Amino acid sequence: MKRLSAFFAFFLACTLAFAQGRNLPDFADLAEKQGPAVVNISTTQTVRRGGQMSPFPFDENDPAFEFFRRFIPVPPGSAVPREFENKSLGSGFFISADGYILTNAHVVDGADEVTVRLTDKREFKARIIGADKRTDVALIKIEAANLPVARLGDPQKLRPGEWVVAIGSPFGFDNSVTAGIVSAKGRSLPQENYVPFIQTDVAINPGNSGGPLFNMNGEVVGINSQIYSRSGGYMGVSFAIPIDVAMDIQNQLRASGKVSRGRLGVVIQEVNKELADSLGLLKPMGAVVNAVEKGGPADKAGLEPGDVILRFDGRPINASADLPRIVGATRPGTRSLVQVWRKGSTRDITVVVGEMQEDKSAQRLAKTQRPPEQAANRLGLVLSELTAEQKRELKLGAGLAVEEIRSGAPRSDLRVGDIIIAVISKGATTELKSVEQFNKLLQQFEKGGNVTLLIRRGELQTFITIKGINGSN
């Protein structure tokens, strides 16, 4: 009887496995229908270096190079210029029958020549219409007609766990098909504030960049752009630019060859639980304003450091990364309503959105001098008050310079050289004008409690929460 039960259990398991296998998606039709709209892109860039290149077939670091240089005479003029061609590969796809192609900006960046190869082996020289490095989207064009066009879908309807397919040219292997699922949506990456990336586990490798990401309806929902890798190859984490973001960029590139973005002129950071408690928010949300550019759109509208931006033009700011995307997509000159949290209540502020310019390099600030025989406070900090000269250079009315962080101090992100501008507690902001004033404020906090500080570091302002305050100093 036991053997019979075991047999039926085994039979049932096999039946279920077979049924589940039959339900796995088939990507063959999708690849066959959509593959012709995907192209291979190869670029050539002439790289010039100063001086002349040695005629010897050895690298200058090779020991043989020195031997040949010493004992084999080189006739004058036999050296060749230090100039060579740098080639790279990528992918793209047609968005119009007359030859417009979407790809990544980094695929065609600096290219002297762009060649597009179709699945029928035809090759065309492409013209770069425009590229936007901030979103890594580029628009190129070939002179041809009646070309296969990829159908576009709605990335907003994608759900984590849904099957997706990539077609591209990894390592130059044309029209390679890989599949996986959507791992997450709206991902923010370092230095990539303008794209809510689609994260997938689709195998993406060098050469896939710029290729389409399809949903199971055969519609393009993204452009494969980046991978997270410690080896340089696929490791299970890939990122794609949502196609609606890319199409907005290409519309601007086609119209003017450049992209215009809105800006507020603020420095922001994420609101964590400790900061939310200090500001009197019920939960972590929004983007807290660390600094406001003097004379910028936010300054003219009346936004202040310490404000938490909760909504922009009616759209909620759930995380700080949402704000740059929404503002960047707003047309410069638009009058937008901004909802902020200030001193325990919300208020609406109308701001005229400015236009983003090229990034400016930060300027150096003067170093502070450590005062003699200064005692540490409850945070284990040795502080000094700013001199009149330092206030002028830093453009601050007051503040305390961190001269030393003593051993035994609570762990925090504070650094020597930071300027502590204010203490944030229960939604109230208290500016710091003296070391004595700060020490008295610290006495109001319980041992082991948290304190949130507004600090200046270089040209940026940020909030730092120090956990676990020591006993009385």
Which position has the token pair 């700080």?
320
Task: Identify the band that residue 395 occupies on the pLDDT scale cut at 50, 70 and 90.
Answer: confident
Please tell me the pTM assigned to this model: 0.66
Whether residue 73 has pLDDT greater than 70? no
| Largest separation between any pair of C-alpha atoms in the chain | 96
Task: Identify the band that residue 359 occupies on the pLDDT scale cut at 50, 70 and 90.
Answer: very low
Task: Identify the band that residue 233 occupies on the pLDDT scale cut at 50, 70 and 90.
Answer: confident
Tokens of 88: 């790279």
Task: Identify the band that residue 408 occupies on the pLDDT scale cut at 50, 70 and 90.
Answer: low
- Alpha carbon 216 to its chain centroid, in Å, reads 28
Whether residue 365 has pLDDT greater than 60? no
* Residue 150 CB neighbour total at 10 angstroms: 23
* Percentage with pLDDT > 90 across the chain: 44
Q: Please, which residues have CB within 8 angstroms of residue 380's CB and are 6 or more apart in sequence?
A: 405, 406, 407, 408, 409, 410, 470
- Alpha carbon 366 to its chain centroid, in Å, reads 30
- Average pLDDT estimate for 123-150: 94
pLDDT tens digits, one per residue of 47-69: 555 455 555 554 555 555 555 55
CB 231, CB 164: distance < 8 Å: no
Task: Identify the band that residue 301 occupies on the pLDDT scale cut at 50, 70 and 90.
Answer: very high
* Residue 233 CB neighbour total at 10 angstroms: 13
Active-site positions?
A: 106, 136, 209
